[in-house]
Amino acid sequence: MSANGAGLPFLIVGGGIGGLVAAYALARQGFPVTVLEQSAEFREVGAGIQLGPNIFRALEKVGLKDELLIDAWPPGKLEMRDALTGEMVTTIPLGARFMKRFHYPYAVTHRADIHRVYLHACRTHELVTLKPDSRVADFKETDDGVTIWLDEGEQVRGRALIGCDGLWSRIRGKIIADGAPRVSGHIAYRAVLKREEVPEDLWHPDVILWAGPHTHFVHYPLRRGTLYNLVAVFHSNRYVEGWNTRGDPEELWRHFGGQRPEIVRMLERIETWRMWVLCDREPVKDWSRGRVTLLGDAAHPMLQYLAQGACMATEDAVTLADKITATPDDLPAAFKAYQDARYLRTGRVQLMARVYGQFYHAEGVAAELRYHALHDRTPEQAYDGMGWLYDGP
Ligand SMILES: Cc1cc2nc3c(=O)[nH]c(=O)nc-3n(C[C@H](O)[C@H](O)[C@H](O)COP(=O)(O)OP(=O)(O)OC[C@H]3O[C@@H](n4cnc5c(N)ncnc54)[C@H](O)[C@@H]3O)c2cc1C
């Protein structure tokens, strides 16, 4: 081992979407990596997620784009409809015109499917070691590396530490110490149906978003069309914390009961909802300390209204691997270069996601203004509005 820890692996805390893609991106550049995951197995729960063209640009750089697209569903358009009147607010085509503008597709997939692609890439790379059942309690940085303590007391030594431990990151707690995440007051209920459980007249190949006062409801197919994803979001201050817990159907009906029959009929199909209390944080610009940095939700947790959390984590991973490759003997400089390349982009997504949430949930005059702002846009005008996000990084 050299004085700067070069013989040791990079330690990645958290084997979610961000941790695994970071591990693979680093291994491809020839760096050994150990991923420490608290769960007994590397597995992803949850439901569908949308993937903008920017994630595919990043994935092409690590050779995973085509694999991810195998099980993903290619919607033909994004549609926003008024949840009370049924009126079409706007339609954004996602086919040839979209591809011509952005060069990469828009797709929807199951969180488990993207996680599986990343996990398979890691499992088949000889430089990646996956350690389940490894909950990280603490760490200490020295001049030539980092020591991690697991809950059980075991110590793991590495060259540097990348905290990919999500919204409630312990690693962030030590290097930024900005307290608990901000509870937004927005709640998401999610469910996935089999294709045959969706009534024929309600099944739709596109991403449909029903925008209502303080609510929205989204649905789209998943996994080559074999599944159907439903997400119902509403405002409630009843909850302060909760992730993937069972949702209360009565609360759902209080918010969606008077909406369009298509929405009500679709919601009636669900027996069990899973609930997420949606949280984010204020953007920060300094999420690295020496040989320790953060990635994904640990660095910049965001609301889901721009559908970008997994996309941003994937972009982070590619940038991080590039910066480490550029200065492997000066990891603090590499980590600083990585955060400097990322914080304005991720901060913009964090802030704009809040704005989009208000936009989706508008009522009264604000909803009318939304209609007038969006209804007559050409597809190219709509694409230009998303250029800052989909053209990057
Ligand atoms: C309702 C909803 C809809 C969404 N929709 C989209 C979308 O359409 N498009 C999109 O791109 N994104 C979407 N997202 C966001 C996306 O799911 C997340 O941003 C992404 O999964 C973050 O990945 P991560 O790896 O940073 O964190 P996580 O997925 O939270 O992974 C963190 C991992 O760290 C592990 N861990 C935590 N603490 C420790 C510890 N102390 N020791 C060891 N391991 C630990 C956890 O077990 C977990 O495996 C959505 C999110 C929500 C809630």
Backbone angles phi, psi at 302, to 5 degrees: -135, 155
Residue 108 backbone dihedrals phi, psi, to 5 degrees: -125, 145
Whether ligand 1 lies within 6 angstroms of the CB of 23 is answered as no
| pTM confidence score | 0.97
Tell me, using a 6 A CB cutoff, whether residue 306 lines ligand 1.
no
Measured from the CB, is residue 9 less than 6 Å from ligand 1? no
96 Cα to the center of ligand 1, angstroms = 31
Pocket test for ligand 1, best of 165, 275, 308 (most atoms within 8 A of CB): 165
* pLDDT reported for residue 240: 64
Atom of ligand 1 nearest to the CA of 243: 53
Q: Could you read off the pLDDT tens digit of each residue along the chain, which spans 393 residues?
A: 455 677 899 999 999 999 999 999 999 999 999 999 999 999 887 799 999 999 999 999 999 999 999 999 999 999 999 999 999 999 999 999 999 999 999 999 999 999 999 999 999 999 999 999 999 999 999 988 999 999 989 999 999 999 999 999 999 999 999 999 999 999 999 999 999 999 999 999 999 999 999 999 999 999 999 999 999 999 987 766 666 677 788 888 999 999 999 999 999 988 888 888 999 999 999 999 999 999 999 999 999 999 999 999 999 999 999 999 999 999 999 999 999 999 999 999 999 999 999 999 999 999 999 999 999 999 999 999 999 999 988
User: Does 135 sit in the ligand 1 pocket, CB within 6 Å?
Assistant: yes
Ligand 1 centroid – CA 195 distance (Å): 26
Give distance in angstroms: CA of 45 to centre of ligand 1.
10
| Any atom of ligand 1 within 6 Å of the Cβ of 38 | yes
Atom 31 in ligand 1: which residue has the minimum CA distance?
16
Ligand 1 centre and the CA of 125: distance in Å? 23
The answer to whether the CB of 157 is under 6 A from ligand 1 is: no
Residue 247 near ligand 1, beta carbon < 6 Å: no
Write down the pLDDT at residue 1: 46
Q: Ligand 1 within 6 A of 15 CB?
A: yes
> What is the spatial distance between Cα 393 and Cα 372, in angstroms, rounded to a whole number?
31
Q: Which atom of ligand 1 is nearest to the CA of 231?
A: 1
CA angle 315, 49, 31 (to 5 degrees): 30
Place of tokens 């358009």: 77
Pairing relationship of beta strands 292-294 and 160-163 according to DSSP bridges:
parallel
Counting runs of H as helices and runs of E as strands, what totals does the chain give? 12, 18
Spatial separation of the C-alpha atoms in residues 300 and 296, rounded to whole Å: 6
CA distance linking residue 61 with residue 187, whole number of Å: 35
Looking at residue 273, what is its pLDDT? Answer: 87
Which atom of ligand 1 is closest in space to residue 299's alpha carbon?
Answer: 26
Q: How far apart are CA 375 and CA 234, in angstroms?
A: 24
CA distance 164 to 313: 9
The finding on whether 389 has its CB within 6 A of some atom of ligand 1 is no
